Chains A and B, each alone.
Chain A
Amino acid sequence: MNDEQKHAAPGEPALTDAVLEVRGVRRAFKRPHGEPLVVLESVNLNLHKGEIIGLLGRSGSGKSTLLRIVAGLIKASDGEVIYRGAPLHGPAEGISMVFQSFALFPWLTVQQNVEAGLEAQGMAADEIREQALRAIDLIGLDGFANAYPRELSGGMRQRVGFARALVMNPSILLMDEPFSALDVLTAETLRTDFLDLWTENKLPIQSVLLVTHNIEEAVFMCDRILVFSANPGRVVAEIKVPFKHPRNRLDPRFRQLVDDIYSRMTVRAATGKATVLSIGERLPEVSTNLMAGLIETLASETYAGRADMPALAQALALEVDELFPLAESLQMLGYAELESGDVHLTPLGQQFALADTQSRKIGFAKQMLTRIPLAAHIKSVLDERPGHRAPSVRFLSELEDYLSDSAAEQTLSAVTMWGRYAELFTYDDAAESFSLDMPEAETV
């Protein structure tokens, strides 16, 4: 019982028969001045019967945007999605979605939640009840039919989410990071349960589109993985996963593929070994504590200055969304280099690991001023002004020329945090302004 049986039967047209086609879909926002902000670059994708396709990438890489365009929840700026021979104009019949945060109505019982979609279609009450109970049974929540979501654990709530989607008899199931809000054990149970149902043909669906930021999950579940990169969001690689279900995480080929994907996702960062950052460069909101922690970990005997990213992620229990920004911030500041899926400390990083707090701060300040133009810019503005004060909105509006509003806020917040650590400047939250007025240093 494996996924080969999902392929087209002999005599039928081959897998060129796509269930869903995404043609040149692009999403961009016009900005008041400057270039439009591109959230998702042109994407082409064909979804076939019997396939689970994974959209893998960090947050901000446009994968969720693509999923929502296919779900009909947002409109593409360019391109179209063809489903059942016609372009998509909104949520279509036959496409159902499972949400990261479960999206259950808290005031309805499990059964009422599952029935909600069918009710909206105008079916007869008896039929609705029967189908709902069948779906609840399928995902294993029989007996919880009249429980409220607040009585259920996270895993059970997500099962209800699945039931609600499956009861609509969809041909395509869309999943938006369905397991990322669950703890590791529960997520694993749900994944394997889902895959069991899938391979045993017990599910009414023909294909699945799965969004995830967990590389292992993608390799574990998907037949094909589209790797996305951020700023702008676009597909950088398409990877086939030829393994049969059930898949073994410890299989060397599995691990090799995971490693491979890690490298591909850090490709852009790696080529920027000595790139000069622009003033509008997006800075990850990473705390200096974490950075110091990672540097010390890398400098320790376990790694001796160099670590394989997948292994590091596993050892520190970090997701891609946490590890990548952290590693990139180290690279930006010159404390580490990223290449082919590895992180290794530069001599500066080694120094940092051995230094005491004061020397670290001094070194950090120097790095900030030389490598992060935004920090140098803020410092120079503060130096010039007579009162050595500047409102944060000034810098925020400058950043908004380069970045989206939320990215600009994040970047400013990051540089504020780092600047305060480095004692380059201070920030007054109430007045929302930067200044050079340091509290007087104690004379020891």
Chain B
Amino acid sequence: MDSRTGAGDPKITLSELAHAPAAVRRIVAHPYLAVRGIARGNLPSPWDIVAFAMLFGTLILISVGTSQFGAPLSALEKTPVDLSLWALPYYALRTTVRMGAAMILSLIFSIAYAGLAAKSKRAERIMIPILDILQSVPVLGFLTFLVPFFLGLFPGKVLGAELASVFAIFTAQAWNMAFSVYQSLRTLPPDLVEACKSLRFSPLQRFRRLELPFAMPGLIWNMMMSMSGAWFFVVASEAITVGNQTITLPGVGSYVATAIAEKNLGAIGWAILAMLIVILLYDQLLFRPLIAWGEKFRADNEPGEVEPESWVLRMLQRSRFVITLWQPTETFINRMLRQRKAAAVRADAGLNLPPWTPLAIDILWYGLIVLAAAYGAWTTVRYVGHTLGFAELGHVILLGLATMTRVILLVALASLIWVPIGVAIGLRPRLAAMAQPIAQFLAAFPANLLFPVAVVLIVKFNLNPDIWLSPLMIFGTQWYILFNVVAGASVFPHDLRDAADNLHLRGWLWWKRVMIPGILPYYVTGAMTAAGGCWNASIVSEIVTWGDKHIQAHGLGTYITQATTDGDYPRVVLGVAIMSLFVVSFNRVLWRPLYRSAERLAGVEE
């Protein structure tokens, strides 16, 4: 009973959500949506503009600098891609290794970046808007800058190309992990923080005992979601042409690219099969055990709650062999972290600086940032303006609107189809338990492997690309809507359903008053992820090839891809910048406010 209102609250509260199955609970908040530090209103804050300018200025400088390094095609080590079935396992392995390397990089980055942003208010002001914009820049847009940069660093060697690919995958994974760690660090339980201070932990101890474990559940979940989402980009980044530079790295992606060039539909079939197996293995051997292990760190577990299980984890935990191996590592870590002397932790430690110091540092810091942003903005405008002119800008914005229309229509269509199905599944627990892993699996599968099939059909039946290429964009991302809605429906409180039955609410009224407000936060999370995925997918799906035939739709994706192949950097910058602007605006103007209203409707307390 709530002592304030003197009555039981019938709203869906966070505590009720907390009693939901653990695996479902965490889907409530995409870390980006949960972070409340970014902009109070819907309009861009000055920091967004600053971040935007800095980012694009940097990208331009990189590309301008490295375009000097043009490494000719012949200098690059090229091994022809073998299209036989038996080469596939090796290629799958290479692809997975690339993914793993990128994941390690992402992990280090997110902990470091989020750690800094959480500890320093000054850093936070600029770092979080930068992160926001980074996650809106299409990954494949990044690739355009990374390829020449790394090829330039390691001229003539495959290492450059590999690094470019790894970094591209990194950009697909790191941002939401960083948001998650940031969010965790900002919501540390205050009593535990005080306990650490009172027990006089050193900063490293505190990190190990409090901050890292607390961030673990969110971090692990986001790691796994990142990896799932990254297969798409791995495949896309293994075979691309940037101007006069080509990457063809051994892997599933280049296997498929070669198959497309040789019009070998059978090889593509094998590739799809191989990918299915890889993702299945990844799911069982990595995803589920890690999630199950991460449950140990949940701060709000009640006794007797059902937790996700994994046979792999159980096996590892009970195997004597593994335990014996792990012991020395643990002892080593403990010894490393032990302090020799008690830490002299001061309550509000500080040097005796004159009182105007904070102000001086502020002026210096923000001044520096503003200068950097101004320089970045000037560089961008000059670069683009000189080489292209502002008529081109108008043209690009129109293309952007075309793609945006597609994205909106497709997300709406997918919602109309999958929301009712998702609700129907979610309200039946047994069905939901079966459907969730399938939907997550489908979301992980790189849809670009299926594009050639669609292309073949379009060529065969001479269909209009503008209409028929569009479904490719949503093909891989619609599953996010599905599994989020299933999650939302499965935690919908029983007593509310019973009340609705009792009041004979049916049909549209039931949807409007009962179901939709209840699952809205989940739906928004899913739809936002789906929409973001669509923008990314547009770069590889609006212009597709089959052999020597090119099929393209009118849109921003085509523009960017075309400019990349031509090595036309100013156009790429313009295209990517405009696409990022679209995505950021979408997020600020639509998804975040919608999520906040949804939370308020659902009664989630802040």
Q: Are A120 and B343 in contact (CB under 8 A)?
A: yes
A90-B347, A90-B349, A120-B201 are known contacts. Are A103 and B7 too (CB-CB below 8 A)?
no
Distance between Cα atoms of A164 and B560 in the complex (Å): 60
CB-based nearest A residue for B298: A106
Distance between Cα atoms of A271 and B232 in the complex (Å): 73
- Residues of A near B191 (CB, < 8 A) are 99-103
Task: Say whether B348 faces chain A, with CB atoms less than 8 Å apart.
Answer: yes
Task: Say whether A119 faces chain B, with CB atoms less than 8 Å apart.
Answer: yes
- Residues of B near A371 (CB, < 8 A) are none
Distance between Cα atoms of A99 and B196 in the complex (Å): 12
Q: Are B342 and A121 in contact (CB under 8 A)?
A: yes
Question: Could you say which of A71, A89, A119 contacts B346, with CB atoms under 8 Å apart?
Answer: A89
Distance between Cα atoms of A97 and B302 in the complex (Å): 25
Q: Tell me the residues in window 379-400 of chain A with beta carbons closer than 8 Å to chain B beta carbons.
A: none
Distance between Cα atoms of A46 and B597 in the complex (Å): 53
Distance between Cα atoms of A152 and B348 in the complex (Å): 35
- Residues of B near A256 (CB, < 8 A) are none
- Residues of B near A125 (CB, < 8 A) are 334
Q: In the complex, what's the smallest C-beta–C-beta distance from A292 to chain B, in angstroms?
A: 9
Among A71, A89, A91, the one with the most B-chain Cβ atoms within 10 Å of its Cβ is A91
CB-based nearest B residue for A288: B6
Among B192, B344, B347, the one with the most A-chain Cβ atoms within 10 Å of its Cβ is B347
Q: In the complex, what's the smallest C-beta–C-beta distance from B18 to chain A, in angstroms?
A: 12
- Residues of A near B201 (CB, < 8 A) are 120
CB-based nearest A residue for B597: A430
- Residues of A near B197 (CB, < 8 A) are 72-73, 90-91
Task: Say whether A187 faces chain B, with CB atoms less than 8 Å apart.
Answer: no
Q: In the complex, what's the smallest C-beta–C-beta distance from A147 to chain B, in angstroms?
A: 10
Produce 1/0 per residue, B334-367, CB < 8 A to A. 1000111111111111000000000000000000
Please tell me which stretch of B98-106, B202-210, B405-413 contacts chain A, meaning at least 4 of its Cβ atoms lie within 8 angstroms of it.
B202-210
- Residues of B near A93 (CB, < 8 A) are 200, 342
Task: Say whether A186 faces chain B, with CB atoms less than 8 Å apart.
Answer: no
Q: Tell me the residues in window 287-315 of chain A with beta carbons closer than 8 Å to chain B beta carbons.
A: 287, 289-290, 293
Q: Are B194 and A75 in contact (CB under 8 A)?
A: no
Distance between Cα atoms of A286 and B5 in the complex (Å): 8
- Residues of B near A74 (CB, < 8 A) are 347-348
Chain B interface main SS type: loop
Q: Are A287 and B345 in contact (CB under 8 A)?
A: no
Q: Are B209 and A105 in contact (CB under 8 A)?
A: yes
Among B192, B198, B297, B339, the one with the most A-chain Cβ atoms within 10 Å of its Cβ is B198
Task: Say whether A116 faces chain B, with CB atoms less than 8 Å apart.
Answer: yes
Q: In the complex, what's the smallest C-beta–C-beta distance from B442 to chain A, in angstroms?
A: 33
A73-B347, A103-B191, A430-B597 are known contacts. Are A285 and B4 too (CB-CB below 8 A)?
yes
Chain A interface main SS type: loop
Distance between Cα atoms of A96 and B216 in the complex (Å): 28
Distance between Cα atoms of A99 and B348 in the complex (Å): 21
Distance between Cα atoms of A322 and B2 in the complex (Å): 12
Produce 1/0 per residue, B1-27, CB < 8 A to A. 001111100000000000000000000
Distance between Cα atoms of A289 and B346 in the complex (Å): 47
Task: Say whether B600 faces chain A, with CB atoms less than 8 Å apart.
Answer: yes
Task: Say whether A117 faces chain B, with CB atoms less than 8 Å apart.
Answer: yes
Distance between Cα atoms of A322 and B547 in the complex (Å): 77
Task: Say whether A244 faces chain B, with CB atoms less than 8 Å apart.
Answer: no
CB-based nearest A residue for B200: A91
Distance between Cα atoms of A90 and B369 in the complex (Å): 35
Q: Are B347 and A72 in contact (CB under 8 A)?
A: yes
Distance between Cα atoms of A103 and B341 in the complex (Å): 24
Q: Are B6 and A293 in contact (CB under 8 A)?
A: yes
Task: Say whether A151 faces chain B, with CB atoms less than 8 Å apart.
Answer: yes
Q: In the complex, what's the smallest C-beta–C-beta distance from B306 to chain A, in angstroms?
A: 13
Q: In the complex, what's the smallest C-beta–C-beta distance from A374 to chain B, in angstroms?
A: 18
CB-based nearest A residue for B340: A122
Task: Say whether B512 faces chain A, with CB atoms less than 8 Å apart.
Answer: no
- Residues of B near A89 (CB, < 8 A) are 346-347
- Residues of B near A75 (CB, < 8 A) are 347-348
Q: In the complex, what's the smallest C-beta–C-beta distance from B155 to chain A, in angstroms?
A: 48
- Residues of A near B334 (CB, < 8 A) are 119, 125
Q: Are A120 and B200 in contact (CB under 8 A)?
A: yes
Distance between Cα atoms of A290 and B299 in the complex (Å): 34
Task: Say whether B467 faces chain A, with CB atoms less than 8 Å apart.
Answer: no
Task: Say whether B284 faces chain A, with CB atoms less than 8 Å apart.
Answer: no
Distance between Cα atoms of A290 and B597 in the complex (Å): 30
A122-B339, A287-B6 are known contacts. Are A97 and B198 too (CB-CB below 8 A)?
yes
Question: Could you say which of A90, A121, A151, A164 contacts B345, with CB atoms under 8 Å apart?
Answer: A90
Distance between Cα atoms of A389 and B62 in the complex (Å): 54
Q: Are A287 and B5 in contact (CB under 8 A)?
A: yes
Q: In the complex, what's the smallest C-beta–C-beta distance from A187 to chain B, in angstroms?
A: 18
A107-B213, A293-B6 are known contacts. Are A120 and B339 too (CB-CB below 8 A)?
yes
Among A71, A90, A430, the one with the most B-chain Cβ atoms within 10 Å of its Cβ is A90
- Residues of B near A286 (CB, < 8 A) are 4
Task: Say whether A150 faces chain B, with CB atoms less than 8 Å apart.
Answer: yes
Distance between Cα atoms of A105 and B192 in the complex (Å): 7
- Residues of A near B195 (CB, < 8 A) are 97, 99, 103, 105
- Residues of B near A107 (CB, < 8 A) are 213, 216, 296-297
Q: Tell me the residues in window 94-136 of chain A with beta carbons closer than 8 Å to chain B beta carbons.
A: 96-97, 99-103, 105-108, 116-117, 119-122, 125
Q: Are A106 and B301 in contact (CB under 8 A)?
A: yes
Q: In the complex, what's the smallest C-beta–C-beta distance from A106 to chain B, in angstroms?
A: 5
Q: Are B297 and A429 in contact (CB under 8 A)?
A: no
Q: In the complex, what's the smallest C-beta–C-beta distance from B418 to chain A, in angstroms?
A: 28
Q: Are A430 and B600 in contact (CB under 8 A)?
A: yes
Distance between Cα atoms of A365 and B120 in the complex (Å): 49
Distance between Cα atoms of A238 and B210 in the complex (Å): 39
- Residues of A near B205 (CB, < 8 A) are 119-120
- Residues of A near B301 (CB, < 8 A) are 106, 150
Among B195, B200, B205, the one with the most A-chain Cβ atoms within 10 Å of its Cβ is B195
A120-B199, A430-B597 are known contacts. Are A289 and B342 too (CB-CB below 8 A)?
no
Beyond A119-B205, A289-B7, list 8 extra A-B contacts (CB 8 Å). Answer: A72-B347, A91-B345, A99-B194, A105-B209, A107-B216, A121-B200, A121-B339, A125-B334
Minimum-distance CB pairs A-B, first 5: A289-B6, A103-B195, A117-B199, A103-B191, A90-B346
Q: Mind listing 5 A-B residue pairs with CB under 8 Å?
A: A75-B348, A103-B195, A122-B339, A285-B4, A429-B600
